[in-house]
Structure 1
Amino acid sequence: MFGPTRVRKTAAVVTSAAAAAATVLLGAPSAAAAPQPIVGGTTTTTTTYPFVMQITDASQNQFCGGTLVSATKVVTAAHCMAGESTSSVRVVGGRTYLNGTNGTVSKVSKIWVNPDYTDATNGDDVAVLTLSTAMPYTKASYVSSADTSVYAAGATARILGWGTTSENGSSSNQLRTATVPIVADASCKSSYGSDFVQTDMVCAGYSTGGTDTCQGDSGGPLLIGGVLAGITSWGEGCAEAGYPGVYTRLTTFSNLVTAQITS
Protein backbone atom coordinates (compact mmCIF):
# COMPACT_ATOMS: atom_id res chain seq x y z
CA MET A 1 0.00 0.00 0.00
CA PHE A 2 2.13 2.89 1.26
CA GLY A 3 5.84 2.86 2.01
CA PRO A 4 7.78 4.05 5.05
CA THR A 5 8.53 7.43 3.43
CA ARG A 6 5.68 8.85 5.50
CA VAL A 7 7.71 8.88 8.70
CA ARG A 8 8.12 12.40 10.02
CA LYS A 9 11.84 12.46 10.57
CA THR A 10 13.61 15.24 8.71
CA ALA A 11 15.74 13.90 5.83
CA ALA A 12 18.58 16.08 7.07
CA VAL A 13 21.02 14.56 9.51
CA VAL A 14 20.94 11.19 7.88
CA THR A 15 23.48 12.50 5.40
CA SER A 16 25.42 15.48 6.70
CA ALA A 17 25.28 18.61 8.83
CA ALA A 18 24.94 20.71 5.67
CA ALA A 19 21.91 18.71 4.57
CA ALA A 20 20.35 19.27 7.97
CA ALA A 21 19.41 22.80 6.96
CA ALA A 22 17.85 21.66 3.69
CA THR A 23 14.15 22.13 3.11
CA VAL A 24 13.76 18.94 1.04
CA LEU A 25 11.56 16.32 2.71
CA LEU A 26 12.32 12.65 3.07
CA GLY A 27 10.31 10.96 0.33
CA ALA A 28 7.76 13.79 0.19
CA PRO A 29 4.34 12.50 -0.94
CA SER A 30 3.18 13.50 -4.40
CA ALA A 31 -0.14 14.87 -3.12
CA ALA A 32 -0.86 18.43 -4.24
CA ALA A 33 -2.06 19.63 -0.82
CA ALA A 34 -0.04 22.56 0.53
CA PRO A 35 -1.03 22.98 4.21
CA GLN A 36 0.00 26.03 6.18
CA PRO A 37 2.01 26.42 9.42
CA ILE A 38 3.49 22.68 13.46
CA VAL A 39 0.92 22.91 10.33
CA GLY A 40 -2.04 25.06 11.35
CA GLY A 41 -0.53 25.89 14.74
CA THR A 42 0.84 28.85 16.65
CA THR A 43 4.24 29.73 18.07
CA THR A 44 5.06 28.89 21.67
CA THR A 45 8.12 28.57 23.93
CA THR A 46 10.06 26.01 25.90
CA THR A 47 9.23 28.09 28.97
CA THR A 48 5.61 27.06 28.47
CA TYR A 49 6.56 23.49 27.54
CA PRO A 50 9.90 22.90 29.30
CA PHE A 51 9.88 19.15 28.70
CA VAL A 52 9.99 19.45 24.90
CA MET A 53 13.48 18.63 23.65
CA GLN A 54 15.27 19.14 20.35
CA ILE A 55 17.08 16.05 19.10
CA THR A 56 19.99 17.14 16.94
CA ASP A 57 23.11 15.92 15.24
CA ALA A 58 26.54 16.62 16.75
CA SER A 59 26.48 20.11 15.21
CA GLN A 60 23.12 20.87 16.86
CA ASN A 61 21.04 20.68 13.68
CA GLN A 62 17.59 19.57 14.84
CA PHE A 63 15.99 16.59 13.10
CA CYS A 64 13.48 15.19 15.62
CA GLY A 65 11.75 16.04 18.86
CA GLY A 66 11.58 14.29 22.20
CA THR A 67 10.00 14.54 25.63
CA LEU A 68 11.88 14.75 28.91
CA VAL A 69 10.38 12.22 31.33
CA SER A 70 13.17 12.28 33.93
CA ALA A 71 16.26 14.44 34.37
CA THR A 72 18.29 12.10 32.16
CA LYS A 73 15.71 10.27 30.02
CA VAL A 74 14.01 11.41 26.83
CA VAL A 75 11.25 9.55 25.00
CA THR A 76 11.27 9.78 21.21
CA ALA A 77 10.39 7.73 18.12
CA ALA A 78 12.40 4.66 17.18
CA HIS A 79 12.55 5.78 13.55
CA CYS A 80 14.36 8.95 14.67
CA MET A 81 17.26 6.78 15.78
CA ALA A 82 17.65 4.88 12.50
CA GLY A 83 21.32 5.04 11.53
CA GLU A 84 22.24 7.04 14.64
CA SER A 85 24.76 6.31 17.41
CA THR A 86 25.45 7.86 20.78
CA SER A 87 28.25 9.91 19.24
CA SER A 88 26.04 11.31 16.46
CA VAL A 89 23.16 12.55 18.62
CA ARG A 90 22.70 15.48 20.99
CA VAL A 91 19.65 16.54 23.02
CA VAL A 92 18.96 20.24 23.53
CA GLY A 93 16.60 21.51 26.23
CA GLY A 94 15.33 24.98 27.03
CA ARG A 95 15.87 26.36 23.51
CA THR A 96 12.78 27.81 21.85
CA TYR A 97 14.52 28.78 18.60
CA LEU A 98 16.49 26.46 16.35
CA ASN A 99 19.09 29.17 15.79
CA GLY A 100 19.42 29.91 19.50
CA THR A 101 22.48 29.23 21.63
CA ASN A 102 20.82 29.11 25.05
CA GLY A 103 19.57 26.11 27.00
CA THR A 104 21.30 22.87 27.92
CA VAL A 105 23.05 20.60 25.43
CA SER A 106 23.68 16.99 26.40
CA LYS A 107 25.46 14.11 24.77
CA VAL A 108 23.69 10.76 24.76
CA SER A 109 25.20 7.86 26.66
CA LYS A 110 22.66 5.20 25.64
CA ILE A 111 20.05 4.72 22.93
CA TRP A 112 17.35 2.16 23.63
CA VAL A 113 15.16 1.30 20.65
CA ASN A 114 12.18 -0.99 21.07
CA PRO A 115 13.59 -4.38 20.04
CA ASP A 116 10.42 -5.17 18.09
CA TYR A 117 10.72 -2.05 15.91
CA THR A 118 11.27 -2.57 12.18
CA ASP A 119 9.41 0.33 10.55
CA ALA A 120 7.05 3.06 11.76
CA THR A 121 4.17 1.71 9.70
CA ASN A 122 4.60 -1.65 11.43
CA GLY A 123 4.27 -0.08 14.88
CA ASP A 124 6.54 -0.37 17.96
CA ASP A 125 7.84 3.16 17.21
CA VAL A 126 9.36 4.14 20.56
CA ALA A 127 12.88 4.84 21.81
CA VAL A 128 14.41 6.17 25.03
CA LEU A 129 17.61 8.21 25.19
CA THR A 130 19.80 8.35 28.30
CA LEU A 131 21.51 11.71 28.68
CA SER A 132 25.05 12.31 29.87
CA THR A 133 24.01 15.66 31.38
CA ALA A 134 20.91 16.04 33.55
CA MET A 135 18.33 18.51 32.22
CA PRO A 136 17.24 21.19 34.74
CA TYR A 137 13.72 21.39 33.34
CA THR A 138 10.29 20.22 34.43
CA LYS A 139 9.64 16.71 33.16
CA ALA A 140 6.43 15.41 31.63
CA SER A 141 4.27 12.74 33.18
CA TYR A 142 3.37 9.90 30.86
CA VAL A 143 0.48 7.46 30.64
CA SER A 144 0.48 4.11 32.38
CA SER A 145 -0.49 0.90 30.62
CA ALA A 146 -3.93 1.15 32.29
CA ASP A 147 -4.74 4.62 30.94
CA THR A 148 -6.31 3.40 27.68
CA SER A 149 -9.40 5.60 28.12
CA VAL A 150 -7.35 8.72 27.31
CA TYR A 151 -7.69 7.89 23.60
CA ALA A 152 -11.45 8.46 23.52
CA ALA A 153 -12.55 9.70 20.09
CA GLY A 154 -12.86 13.47 20.13
CA ALA A 155 -10.54 14.01 23.09
CA THR A 156 -8.36 17.08 22.66
CA ALA A 157 -4.66 16.40 22.15
CA ARG A 158 -1.77 18.86 21.93
CA ILE A 159 1.08 18.49 19.44
CA LEU A 160 4.44 20.33 19.50
CA GLY A 161 7.51 20.60 17.32
CA TRP A 162 9.87 22.50 15.07
CA GLY A 163 8.91 20.62 11.93
CA THR A 164 8.26 21.82 8.41
CA THR A 165 5.38 24.24 8.00
CA SER A 166 4.14 22.63 4.79
CA GLU A 167 4.80 19.39 2.93
CA ASN A 168 7.56 20.99 0.88
CA GLY A 169 8.43 23.83 3.21
CA SER A 170 11.19 24.70 5.66
CA SER A 171 11.30 24.02 9.39
CA SER A 172 9.87 26.51 11.85
CA ASN A 173 12.65 28.35 13.66
CA GLN A 174 10.40 28.70 16.71
CA LEU A 175 8.66 25.89 18.57
CA ARG A 176 5.06 25.55 17.45
CA THR A 177 1.98 23.95 18.95
CA ALA A 178 -1.60 23.08 17.99
CA THR A 179 -4.52 21.05 19.28
CA VAL A 180 -6.14 18.20 17.36
CA PRO A 181 -8.92 15.74 18.23
CA ILE A 182 -8.28 12.04 18.75
CA VAL A 183 -9.70 10.06 15.84
CA ALA A 184 -11.74 6.90 16.37
CA ASP A 185 -9.76 3.75 15.63
CA ALA A 186 -12.32 2.63 13.04
CA SER A 187 -11.96 5.92 11.18
CA CYS A 188 -8.16 5.70 11.24
CA LYS A 189 -8.38 2.13 9.96
CA SER A 190 -10.57 3.39 7.13
CA SER A 191 -7.89 5.93 6.19
CA TYR A 192 -4.81 3.72 6.44
CA GLY A 193 -6.05 0.16 6.07
CA SER A 194 -3.67 -2.54 7.26
CA ASP A 195 -0.94 0.03 7.95
CA PHE A 196 -2.89 1.13 11.04
CA VAL A 197 -1.96 -1.20 13.91
CA GLN A 198 -4.57 -0.42 16.56
CA THR A 199 -2.60 -1.86 19.47
CA ASP A 200 0.43 0.30 18.69
CA MET A 201 -0.98 3.47 17.09
CA VAL A 202 -3.50 6.23 17.63
CA CYS A 203 -4.60 8.88 15.14
CA ALA A 204 -5.27 12.56 15.74
CA GLY A 205 -6.44 15.29 13.38
CA TYR A 206 -9.44 16.87 11.70
CA SER A 207 -11.33 15.09 8.93
CA THR A 208 -10.90 18.21 6.81
CA GLY A 209 -7.15 18.35 7.51
CA GLY A 210 -5.41 21.66 8.02
CA THR A 211 -3.69 20.97 11.35
CA ASP A 212 -1.04 18.29 11.81
CA THR A 213 2.54 17.39 12.62
CA CYS A 214 4.95 17.25 9.69
CA GLN A 215 8.54 16.31 8.82
CA GLY A 216 10.90 17.24 11.65
CA ASP A 217 8.19 16.80 14.31
CA SER A 218 8.90 13.06 14.63
CA GLY A 219 9.50 11.87 18.17
CA GLY A 220 7.75 14.87 19.71
CA PRO A 221 4.87 14.62 22.16
CA LEU A 222 1.16 14.04 21.78
CA LEU A 223 -0.25 15.33 25.07
CA ILE A 224 -3.72 14.53 26.35
CA GLY A 225 -4.73 16.32 29.53
CA GLY A 226 -1.16 17.57 29.81
CA VAL A 227 0.19 14.00 29.98
CA LEU A 228 2.43 12.36 27.38
CA ALA A 229 0.16 9.85 25.64
CA GLY A 230 1.70 9.51 22.18
CA ILE A 231 4.79 10.06 20.05
CA THR A 232 4.72 11.70 16.61
CA SER A 233 5.31 8.83 14.21
CA TRP A 234 4.02 9.00 10.62
CA GLY A 235 1.24 10.01 8.28
CA GLU A 236 0.24 10.40 4.66
CA GLY A 237 1.52 13.84 3.77
CA CYS A 238 0.85 16.59 6.29
CA ALA A 239 -2.57 17.97 7.25
CA GLU A 240 -4.29 16.28 4.32
CA ALA A 241 -8.05 15.75 4.52
CA GLY A 242 -8.87 12.14 5.36
CA TYR A 243 -5.34 11.34 6.58
CA PRO A 244 -4.83 12.20 10.25
CA GLY A 245 -1.43 12.08 11.90
CA VAL A 246 -0.43 8.72 13.35
CA TYR A 247 1.17 8.55 16.80
CA THR A 248 2.67 5.78 18.89
CA ARG A 249 0.04 4.59 21.41
CA LEU A 250 2.21 5.01 24.48
CA THR A 251 0.04 3.00 26.86
CA THR A 252 1.16 -0.11 24.97
CA PHE A 253 4.81 0.68 25.66
CA SER A 254 4.54 2.42 29.03
CA ASN A 255 6.00 -0.50 30.98
CA LEU A 256 8.96 -0.74 28.59
CA VAL A 257 9.58 3.01 28.94
CA THR A 258 9.39 2.77 32.74
CA ALA A 259 11.92 -0.05 32.71
CA GLN A 260 14.33 2.16 30.76
CA ILE A 261 13.79 5.16 33.02
CA THR A 262 14.52 3.16 36.14
CA SER A 263 17.50 1.31 34.64
Structure 2
Amino acid sequence: MFGFNRVTKTAAVCAATAAAAATALLGAPSAVAAPQPIVGGTTTTTTAYPFMMQITDASQNQFCGGTLVAANKVVTAAHCMVGESTSSVRVVGGRTYLNGTNGTVSKVSKIWINPDYTDATNGDDVAVLTLSTSMSYTKASYVSSSDTGVYAAGTTARIVGWGTTSENGSSSNQLRTATVPTVSDSSCRSSYGSEYVASDMICAGFTSGGVDTCQGDSGGPLLIGGVLAGITSWGDGCAEAGKPGVYTRLTTFSSLVTTQINS
Protein backbone atom coordinates (compact mmCIF):
# COMPACT_ATOMS: atom_id res chain seq x y z
CA MET A 1 0.00 0.00 0.00
CA PHE A 2 1.28 3.43 -0.87
CA GLY A 3 0.14 6.61 0.84
CA PHE A 4 0.65 9.78 -1.14
CA ASN A 5 0.78 13.40 -0.16
CA ARG A 6 -1.55 15.39 -2.38
CA VAL A 7 0.80 17.93 -3.92
CA THR A 8 1.34 18.66 -7.58
CA LYS A 9 4.45 20.21 -9.09
CA THR A 10 5.64 20.37 -12.68
CA ALA A 11 4.89 17.56 -15.10
CA ALA A 12 8.55 16.50 -15.11
CA VAL A 13 8.63 16.22 -11.35
CA CYS A 14 5.34 14.30 -11.28
CA ALA A 15 6.52 11.80 -13.88
CA ALA A 16 9.74 11.16 -11.99
CA THR A 17 7.85 10.68 -8.75
CA ALA A 18 5.40 8.26 -10.32
CA ALA A 19 8.32 6.09 -11.40
CA ALA A 20 9.72 6.15 -7.87
CA ALA A 21 6.40 5.27 -6.24
CA ALA A 22 6.88 1.55 -6.75
CA THR A 23 9.75 1.52 -4.28
CA ALA A 24 8.80 4.32 -1.89
CA LEU A 25 6.25 3.89 0.87
CA LEU A 26 5.52 7.59 1.12
CA GLY A 27 6.06 10.04 -1.70
CA ALA A 28 8.14 13.15 -1.58
CA PRO A 29 6.24 16.46 -1.55
CA SER A 30 5.74 16.11 -5.32
CA ALA A 31 4.32 12.57 -5.09
CA VAL A 32 1.64 11.61 -7.57
CA ALA A 33 -1.76 10.48 -6.35
CA ALA A 34 -4.32 8.59 -8.39
CA PRO A 35 -6.93 10.35 -10.52
CA GLN A 36 -9.73 12.78 -10.10
CA PRO A 37 -10.12 16.19 -8.54
CA ILE A 38 -12.76 16.38 -5.91
CA VAL A 39 -14.61 13.68 -7.82
CA GLY A 40 -18.39 14.02 -7.76
CA GLY A 41 -18.15 17.69 -6.90
CA THR A 42 -18.93 20.86 -8.77
CA THR A 43 -17.11 23.94 -9.97
CA THR A 44 -17.17 26.92 -7.65
CA THR A 45 -15.51 30.31 -7.23
CA THR A 46 -13.33 32.22 -4.81
CA THR A 47 -16.32 34.51 -4.34
CA ALA A 48 -18.05 31.56 -2.67
CA TYR A 49 -14.83 30.62 -0.83
CA PRO A 50 -12.94 33.92 -0.46
CA PHE A 51 -10.47 32.44 2.03
CA MET A 52 -9.30 29.82 -0.49
CA MET A 53 -5.74 30.55 -1.54
CA GLN A 54 -3.55 29.19 -4.33
CA ILE A 55 -0.03 28.37 -3.21
CA THR A 56 2.27 28.69 -6.19
CA ASP A 57 5.89 28.79 -7.20
CA ALA A 58 7.52 32.10 -8.09
CA SER A 59 6.01 31.85 -11.60
CA GLN A 60 2.51 31.43 -10.13
CA ASN A 61 2.15 27.73 -10.98
CA GLN A 62 -0.18 26.35 -8.33
CA PHE A 63 0.92 23.25 -6.42
CA CYS A 64 -1.01 23.40 -3.15
CA GLY A 65 -3.98 25.08 -1.52
CA GLY A 66 -4.19 27.13 1.64
CA THR A 67 -6.73 28.85 3.87
CA LEU A 68 -6.60 32.53 4.82
CA VAL A 69 -7.13 32.77 8.60
CA ALA A 70 -5.82 36.31 9.14
CA ALA A 71 -5.09 39.16 6.76
CA ASN A 72 -1.47 38.02 6.41
CA LYS A 73 -1.61 34.37 7.58
CA VAL A 74 -2.39 31.23 5.58
CA VAL A 75 -2.75 27.71 6.96
CA THR A 76 -1.54 24.90 4.72
CA ALA A 77 0.09 21.45 4.96
CA ALA A 78 3.63 21.01 6.21
CA HIS A 79 4.45 18.63 3.35
CA CYS A 80 3.63 21.40 0.88
CA MET A 81 6.41 23.53 2.31
CA VAL A 82 9.20 20.99 2.70
CA GLY A 83 12.08 22.14 0.53
CA GLU A 84 10.51 25.53 -0.13
CA SER A 85 11.81 28.96 0.86
CA THR A 86 10.28 32.41 1.15
CA SER A 87 11.74 33.26 -2.26
CA SER A 88 10.26 30.17 -3.96
CA VAL A 89 6.63 30.56 -2.86
CA ARG A 90 3.78 32.91 -3.68
CA VAL A 91 0.20 33.03 -2.37
CA VAL A 92 -2.63 34.07 -4.68
CA GLY A 93 -6.03 35.12 -3.38
CA GLY A 94 -9.26 35.92 -5.21
CA ARG A 95 -8.41 33.92 -8.34
CA THR A 96 -10.95 31.23 -9.31
CA TYR A 97 -9.08 30.03 -12.40
CA LEU A 98 -5.50 28.85 -12.45
CA ASN A 99 -4.94 30.65 -15.74
CA GLY A 100 -6.42 33.89 -14.44
CA THR A 101 -4.53 37.10 -13.80
CA ASN A 102 -6.90 38.73 -11.31
CA GLY A 103 -6.75 38.69 -7.54
CA THR A 104 -3.93 39.49 -5.15
CA VAL A 105 -0.46 37.96 -5.36
CA SER A 106 1.74 38.05 -2.28
CA LYS A 107 5.27 37.03 -1.52
CA VAL A 108 5.86 35.07 1.67
CA SER A 109 7.97 36.58 4.45
CA LYS A 110 7.97 33.57 6.79
CA ILE A 111 7.28 29.85 6.55
CA TRP A 112 6.54 28.00 9.78
CA ILE A 113 6.51 24.21 9.47
CA ASN A 114 5.40 22.17 12.46
CA PRO A 115 8.75 20.98 13.84
CA ASP A 116 7.29 17.54 14.57
CA TYR A 117 6.37 16.89 10.93
CA THR A 118 8.20 14.10 9.13
CA ASP A 119 7.32 12.76 5.70
CA ALA A 120 7.97 9.25 7.03
CA THR A 121 4.64 9.29 8.89
CA ASN A 122 2.64 12.19 7.38
CA GLY A 123 1.66 13.18 10.93
CA ASP A 124 1.74 16.71 12.36
CA ASP A 125 1.05 17.99 8.84
CA VAL A 126 0.47 21.70 9.36
CA ALA A 127 2.27 24.87 8.31
CA VAL A 128 1.54 28.59 8.51
CA LEU A 129 2.68 31.17 5.97
CA THR A 130 3.14 34.83 6.79
CA LEU A 131 2.36 37.01 3.80
CA SER A 132 4.28 40.10 2.76
CA THR A 133 1.05 41.64 1.41
CA SER A 134 -2.12 41.51 3.48
CA MET A 135 -5.21 40.03 1.82
CA SER A 136 -8.53 41.88 1.97
CA TYR A 137 -10.64 38.72 1.50
CA THR A 138 -12.95 37.25 4.12
CA LYS A 139 -11.01 35.02 6.48
CA ALA A 140 -11.97 31.55 7.66
CA SER A 141 -12.54 30.75 11.29
CA TYR A 142 -10.79 27.64 12.54
CA VAL A 143 -11.49 25.12 15.28
CA SER A 144 -10.19 25.51 18.80
CA SER A 145 -8.49 22.74 20.72
CA SER A 146 -11.74 22.03 22.58
CA ASP A 147 -13.87 21.51 19.43
CA THR A 148 -13.10 17.79 19.14
CA GLY A 149 -16.77 16.88 18.75
CA VAL A 150 -16.86 18.33 15.22
CA TYR A 151 -15.32 15.12 13.87
CA ALA A 152 -18.17 12.81 14.88
CA ALA A 153 -18.47 10.03 12.28
CA GLY A 154 -20.89 10.87 9.49
CA THR A 155 -20.62 14.64 9.90
CA THR A 156 -20.80 16.44 6.55
CA ALA A 157 -17.54 18.14 5.60
CA ARG A 158 -16.68 20.26 2.57
CA ILE A 159 -13.51 19.99 0.50
CA VAL A 160 -12.21 22.64 -1.91
CA GLY A 161 -9.34 22.69 -4.38
CA TRP A 162 -7.82 22.67 -7.85
CA GLY A 163 -6.78 18.99 -7.90
CA THR A 164 -5.74 17.02 -10.96
CA THR A 165 -8.32 15.55 -13.33
CA SER A 166 -6.46 12.32 -14.07
CA GLU A 167 -3.42 10.40 -12.90
CA ASN A 168 -0.31 12.37 -13.89
CA GLY A 169 -2.72 14.80 -15.54
CA SER A 170 -3.29 18.53 -15.34
CA SER A 171 -5.05 20.40 -12.57
CA SER A 172 -8.64 21.53 -12.75
CA ASN A 173 -8.47 25.07 -14.11
CA GLN A 174 -11.49 26.15 -12.08
CA LEU A 175 -11.83 25.78 -8.33
CA ARG A 176 -13.95 22.77 -7.35
CA THR A 177 -15.81 21.67 -4.23
CA ALA A 178 -17.70 18.67 -2.86
CA THR A 179 -19.04 17.28 0.39
CA VAL A 180 -17.85 14.11 2.11
CA PRO A 181 -18.78 12.49 5.44
CA THR A 182 -16.23 12.17 8.20
CA VAL A 183 -15.17 8.59 8.97
CA SER A 184 -14.77 6.97 12.38
CA ASP A 185 -11.28 6.36 13.72
CA SER A 186 -11.85 2.62 13.75
CA SER A 187 -12.93 2.57 10.11
CA CYS A 188 -10.01 4.73 9.03
CA ARG A 189 -7.63 2.50 10.96
CA SER A 190 -9.09 -0.47 9.10
CA SER A 191 -8.26 1.29 5.85
CA TYR A 192 -4.74 2.45 6.70
CA GLY A 193 -3.52 0.44 9.68
CA SER A 194 -0.74 2.03 11.71
CA GLU A 195 -0.31 4.81 9.12
CA TYR A 196 -3.46 6.38 10.55
CA VAL A 197 -2.75 8.29 13.76
CA ALA A 198 -6.04 9.36 15.30
CA SER A 199 -4.53 12.15 17.40
CA ASP A 200 -3.12 13.81 14.27
CA MET A 201 -5.53 12.83 11.51
CA ILE A 202 -9.18 12.57 10.49
CA CYS A 203 -10.57 10.68 7.50
CA ALA A 204 -13.44 11.78 5.27
CA GLY A 205 -15.03 10.03 2.31
CA PHE A 206 -17.66 7.53 1.22
CA THR A 207 -17.22 3.79 1.75
CA SER A 208 -17.84 3.32 -1.96
CA GLY A 209 -15.35 6.05 -2.87
CA GLY A 210 -16.14 8.38 -5.77
CA VAL A 211 -15.65 11.71 -3.96
CA ASP A 212 -12.26 12.83 -2.69
CA THR A 213 -9.43 15.32 -2.79
CA CYS A 214 -6.45 14.48 -4.97
CA GLN A 215 -3.08 15.66 -6.28
CA GLY A 216 -2.92 19.44 -6.14
CA ASP A 217 -5.46 19.73 -3.31
CA SER A 218 -2.87 19.35 -0.53
CA GLY A 219 -2.97 22.09 2.08
CA GLY A 220 -6.53 23.07 1.24
CA PRO A 221 -9.37 23.11 3.74
CA LEU A 222 -11.65 20.49 5.21
CA LEU A 223 -14.56 22.65 6.36
CA ILE A 224 -17.14 21.53 8.90
CA GLY A 225 -20.01 23.92 9.52
CA GLY A 226 -18.11 26.48 7.48
CA VAL A 227 -15.17 26.37 9.88
CA LEU A 228 -11.67 25.15 9.04
CA ALA A 229 -11.40 21.78 10.80
CA GLY A 230 -8.81 19.93 8.72
CA ILE A 231 -6.07 20.27 6.12
CA THR A 232 -5.89 18.07 3.01
CA SER A 233 -2.96 15.79 3.71
CA TRP A 234 -2.69 12.34 2.09
CA GLY A 235 -4.45 9.19 0.96
CA ASP A 236 -4.06 5.88 -0.82
CA GLY A 237 -4.88 6.95 -4.35
CA CYS A 238 -7.92 9.16 -4.79
CA ALA A 239 -11.64 8.37 -4.53
CA GLU A 240 -10.99 4.63 -4.17
CA ALA A 241 -13.52 2.50 -2.31
CA GLY A 242 -12.47 1.92 1.26
CA LYS A 243 -9.67 4.48 1.05
CA PRO A 244 -10.96 7.82 2.35
CA GLY A 245 -8.95 11.01 2.21
CA VAL A 246 -6.83 11.77 5.26
CA TYR A 247 -6.76 15.27 6.72
CA THR A 248 -4.82 16.96 9.50
CA ARG A 249 -6.94 17.01 12.68
CA LEU A 250 -6.69 20.73 13.27
CA THR A 251 -8.00 20.73 16.85
CA THR A 252 -4.72 19.07 17.85
CA PHE A 253 -2.69 21.91 16.36
CA SER A 254 -5.03 24.86 16.89
CA SER A 255 -2.97 26.43 19.66
CA LEU A 256 0.20 26.17 17.57
CA VAL A 257 -1.57 27.87 14.67
CA THR A 258 -2.84 30.62 16.95
CA THR A 259 0.68 31.23 18.23
CA GLN A 260 1.89 31.67 14.66
CA ILE A 261 -0.98 33.99 13.78
CA ASN A 262 -0.14 36.18 16.75
CA SER A 263 3.59 36.20 16.09
What TM-score do you get using the length of structure 2 for normalisation? 0.91
Q: CA deviation at 1:23?
A: 7.1
**Match of residue 27, structure 1, among 3, 18, 21:** 18
Over residues 2-33 of structure 1, what are the superposed CA-to-partner deviations in whole Å (9 max), with x where a residue is unaligned? 4x5x0001132xxxxxx48x875843878xx9
Deviates further, 166-175 or 137-146: 166-175
Q: Kindly provide the amino acid, as one letter, of the partner of residue 38 in structure 1.
A: I
Report the 3-state secondary structure (helix = DSSP H, G, I; strand = E; otherwise coil) of the residue aligned with 2:121.
helix
Q: Give identity over the alignment, percent.
A: 83
- Greater than 6 Å deviation, 4+ residue runs: none
**Match of residue 9, structure 2, among 8, 11, 22:** 11
Would you say the 8 A contact 1:76–1:126 is kept in 2? yes
Would you say the 8 A contact 2:74–2:130 is kept in 1? yes
Residue 53 (1) aligns with residue 80 (2): no
Q: CA deviation at 1:41?
A: 1.1
Q: CA deviation at 1:38?
A: 2.1
Report the 3-state secondary structure (helix = DSSP H, G, I; strand = E; otherwise coil) of the residue aligned with 2:143.
coil
Q: Which runs of 5+ in 2 are unaligned?
A: 23-32
Task: After TM superposition, list the pairs within 5 Å mapping 1:18-167 onto structure 2.
Answer: 19=11, 24=15, 26-27=17-18, 36-119=36-119, 121-167=121-167
Would you say the 8 A contact 2:34–2:237 is kept in 1? no
How many residue pairs align between the two structures? 252
Residue 254 (1) aligns with residue 254 (2): yes
Q: CA deviation at 1:60?
A: 0.2
CA distance in 2, matches of 1:97, 1:83: 26
CA distance in 2, matches of 1:234, 1:255: 23
- Note closer, same or farther for the CA distance 1:26–1:149 as it changes in structure 2 (3 Å cut): farther
Over residues 146-198 of structure 1, what are the superposed CA-to-partner deviations in whole Å (9 max), with x where a residue is unaligned? 00000000000000000112334321000000000000010000000000000
Would you say the 8 A contact 1:167–1:238 is kept in 2? no
Would you say the 8 A contact 2:55–2:65 is kept in 1? yes
CA distance in 2, matches of 1:92, 1:66: 10
Q: Which runs of 5+ in 1 are unaligned?
A: 13-18
Residue in structure 2 matched with residue 204 of structure 1 by the alignment: 204
RMSD: 1.9
CA distance in 2, matches of 1:166, 1:254: 33
CA distance in 1, matches of 2:222, 2:229: 6
CA distance in 1, matches of 2:82, 2:208: 32
Report the 3-state secondary structure (helix = DSSP H, G, I; strand = E; otherwise coil) of the residue aligned with 1:27.
helix
Report the 3-state secondary structure (helix = DSSP H, G, I; strand = E; otherwise coil) of the residue aligned with 2:150.
helix
Residue in structure 2 matched with residue 184 of structure 1 by the alignment: 184
- Note closer, same or farther for the CA distance 1:246–1:261 as it changes in structure 2 (3 Å cut): same
